């Protein structure tokens, strides 16, 4: 079954988005071409412009980081954590950059700024996003090869934030207190040293191109598309920056506006795409609820139909038995007539079975027949099928599968249905609990000469002893929207396969469901 794609990072962009992205890239490069011949025109310091641009970029970066961290938590993604941290670093570095910028808040810049301070902070700032995108692309590939999302460790947001803060403080200290350790960048507050500028831009361009190549080499998502657009703006800025002579030239200002544009692109894209995905998710949840209601209604109809079909032969059987009794209760019992009535009763009860069998046959034919299957493979497949559901509820899943498990002869669809039902129940039982780790463990073992066993344990609310037997009864449910049929059908399926399904209290908390099935060895 195809897995649902719900994250910004795994949903493919639609053609219209690609077209808009390309149009923005074209616009950015047209700006570059137009600005290049006039970029060294000296404009001079524009009061208030640096703090204004800086505030805009800072807000964009921090909003982007917040959205990316939120996605990283839900999807347990290291790649997104690194990317979000890159945006935090980029945003926070803008603070010392603006504070030390000559003429922004004071003539010489604050924080004890010297001639090269702002320049070197800007280098770190300009490198932060391309480097973060490069490692995002790298880790994204590693994330994708991890078998199950629920098996991954939770996203390390706090570490990401702490490292980001530490790096920003380090860069600020290096550029202020450690100013003399760094190579010279500016002749004075205005004039830049060309050789240093070229080296710096070549390094930024190299990282930007490496990040773009990393994104282009893999399956692209909506997020990747907008990162590529933002990086092309980043590339254009660096090309524009390459031959600059002064901090206050026209090119330098166009450079800053392009940077703001690139930050805006990512932020707006993230907000729009998250809202779009949220709307899609809400619609699909509503559709699923409707489907569930429809299923309940059709089950009602099936139950009514069975009751109707079965009632008639049952009434006939009851009547025949009463007739037989009245033949026998006479002062001179007529055994011949009584036997005839009893035969009629037997025929009627046979018809009851036929009705039930025919209803079952309708369902069984849809599901195919039994074949040799690996319970381990089925457990893995089902786990990955439930990936999103587990991740969305912040549940970790651990698989401990015995590799020596022999195959079983079973109806794959039915056994998978049982597993899905057990996992769904486990997830739902954990959602009710608070301040407890949400863990599910699936364990398979070769039990003995004849049987294999698969256990599904959770750390959820557990089941009280008096309910242990009740929960397998049809229509027993403690959920507002439950049908109470899952476990009773699951038990029927397992018993029809010659196995057993039962429950025991979990280790300390929660519950463990045990599924025992005969194997083929
Ligand atoms: P439903 O899920 O529709 O309620 P089921 O037959 O699957 O129907 O489950 C019956 C009841 O058993 C549930 O309502 C719940 O109270 C209980 N139950 C099932 N699995 C678990 C579990 N893992 N932990 C706690 N209670 C459970």
Residues 152-184: pLDDT tens digits? 777 899 999 999 999 999 999 999 999 999 999
* Residue 243 CB less than 6 A away from ligand 1: no
Cα 439 to Cα 432: distance, rounded to the nearest angstrom: 13
Instruction: HSE, CB side, 13 Å, CA atoms: give it for residue 151.
Output: 15
Does ligand 1 come within 6 angstroms of the Cβ of 326? no
Could you tell me if the CB of 441 is within 6 A of ligand 1? no
453 lines ligand 1 (CB under 6 A): no
CB 114 within 8 A of CB 174: no
CB distance 422 to ligand 1 below 6 Å: no
* Domain with residues 371-518, CATH architecture: 2-Layer Sandwich (3.30)
Atom of ligand 1 nearest to the CA of 489: 6
CA distance 121 to 119: 6
Alpha carbon distance 511, 251 (integer Å): 66
3-state secondary structure of 14: coil
421 lines ligand 1 (CB under 6 A): yes
CATH of region 15-286: 1.20.1070
Report CA(314)–ligand 1 centroid distance (Å). 33
- Determine the Cα–Cα distance for residues 21 and 221; give it in Å rounded to an integer: 13
Distance 384 CA to ligand 1 centre (A): 22
Overall pTM > 0.85: no
Report the separation in Å between the CA atom of 7 and the middle of ligand 1, taken as the mean of its atom positions: 30
Q: Render each residue's pLDDT in the chain as its tens digit; 521 residues.
A: 334 556 677 788 888 889 999 999 999 899 889 988 888 888 888 878 888 999 999 999 999 999 999 888 888 889 999 999 999 999 999 999 999 998 888 887 788 888 899 999 999 999 999 999 999 999 988 777 655 666 677 789 999 999 999 999 999 999 999 999 999 988 887 888 989 999 999 999 999 999 999 999 988 888 999 999 999 988 998 898 888 888 888 888 888 888 888 888 889 988 988 888 788 777 777 777 776 666 666 666 777 777 777 888 888 899 999 999 999 999 989 999 999 999 999 988 888 887 777 766 655 544 457 889 999 999 998 888 787 778 778 889 999 999 999 999 998 888 988 998 999 999 999 887 888 889 999 999 999 889 999 999 999 999 998 899 899 988 889 988 778 888 988 898 899 899 999 999 988 889 999 999 999 76
Residue 471 CA: which ligand 1 atom is closest? 12
Ligand 1 pocket: which of 422, 487, 491, 512 to mutate (most atoms within 8 A of CB) = 487
Ligand 1, residue 484: give the atom nearest the CA. 8
């Amino acid at each position: 079954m195809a897995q649902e794609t719900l994250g910004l990072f795994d949903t493919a962009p639609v053609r219209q988005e690609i077209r808009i992205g390309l149009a923005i890239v074209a616009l950015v490069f047209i700006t570059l071409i137009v600005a290049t011949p006039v970029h060294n025109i000296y404009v001079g310091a524009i009061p208030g412009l640096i703090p204004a641009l800086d505030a805009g970029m800072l807000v964009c970066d921090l909003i982007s980081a917040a959205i990316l961290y939120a996605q990283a938590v839900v999807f347990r993604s290291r790649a997104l954590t690194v990317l979000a941290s890159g945006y935090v670093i980029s945003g926070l570095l803008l603070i010392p950059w603006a504070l030390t910028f000559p003429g922004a808040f004071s003539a010489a810049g604050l924080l004890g700024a010297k001639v090269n301070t702002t320049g070197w902070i800007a280098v770190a700032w300009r490198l932060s996003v391309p480097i973060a995108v490069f490692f995002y692309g790298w880790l994204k590939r590693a994330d994708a090869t991890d078998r199950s999302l629920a098996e991954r460790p939770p996203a390390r947001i706090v570490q990401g934030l702490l490292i980001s803060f530490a790096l920003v403080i380090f860069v600020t200290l290096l550029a202020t207190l450690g100013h003399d350790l760094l190579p010279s960048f500016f002749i004075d507050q205005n004039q830049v040293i060309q050789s240093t500028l070229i080296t710096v831009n070549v390094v930024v361009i190299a990282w930007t191109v490496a990040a773009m190549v990393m994104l282009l080499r893999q399956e692209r998502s909506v997020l990747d598309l907008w990162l590529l657009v933002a990086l092309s703006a980043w590339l254009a800025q660096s090309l524009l920056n390459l031959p600059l002579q002064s901090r206050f030239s026209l090119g330098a200002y166009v450079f800053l506006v392009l940077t703001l544009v690139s930050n805006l692109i990512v932020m707006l894209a993230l907000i729009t795409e998250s809202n779009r995905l949220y709307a899609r998710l809400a619609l699909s949840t509503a559709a699923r609820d409707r489907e569930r209601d429809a299923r309940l209604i059709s089950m009602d109809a099936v139950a009514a139909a069975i009751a109707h079909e079965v009632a008639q032969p049952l009434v006939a059987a009851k009547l025949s038995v009463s007739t037989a009794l009245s033949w026998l209760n006479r002062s001179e019992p007529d055994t011949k007539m009584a036997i005839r009535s009893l035969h009629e009763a037997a025929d009627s009860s046979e018809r009851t079975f036929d009705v039930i069998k025919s209803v079952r046959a309708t369902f069984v034919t849809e599901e195919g027949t039994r074949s040799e299957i690996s319970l381990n493979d089925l457990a893995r497949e089902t786990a990955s099928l439930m990936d999103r559901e587990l991740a969305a509820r912040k549940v970790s899943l651990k698989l401990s599968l015995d590799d020596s498990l022999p195959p079983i002869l079973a109806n794959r669809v039915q056994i998978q249905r049982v597993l899905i039902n057990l996992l769904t129940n486990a997830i739902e039982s954990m959602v009710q609990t608070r301040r407890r780790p949400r863990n599910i463990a699936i364990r398979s073992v070769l039990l003995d000469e004849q049987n294999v066993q698969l256990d599904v344990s959770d750390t959820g609310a557990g089941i009280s002893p008096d309910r242990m037997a009740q929960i397998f009864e049809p229509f027993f449910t403690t959920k507002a929207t439950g049908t109470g049929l899952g476990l009773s059908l699951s038990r029927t399926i397992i018993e029809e396969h010659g196995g057993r399904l039962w429950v025991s209290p979990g280790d300390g908390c929660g519950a463990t469901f045990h599924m025992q099935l005969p194997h083929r060895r």
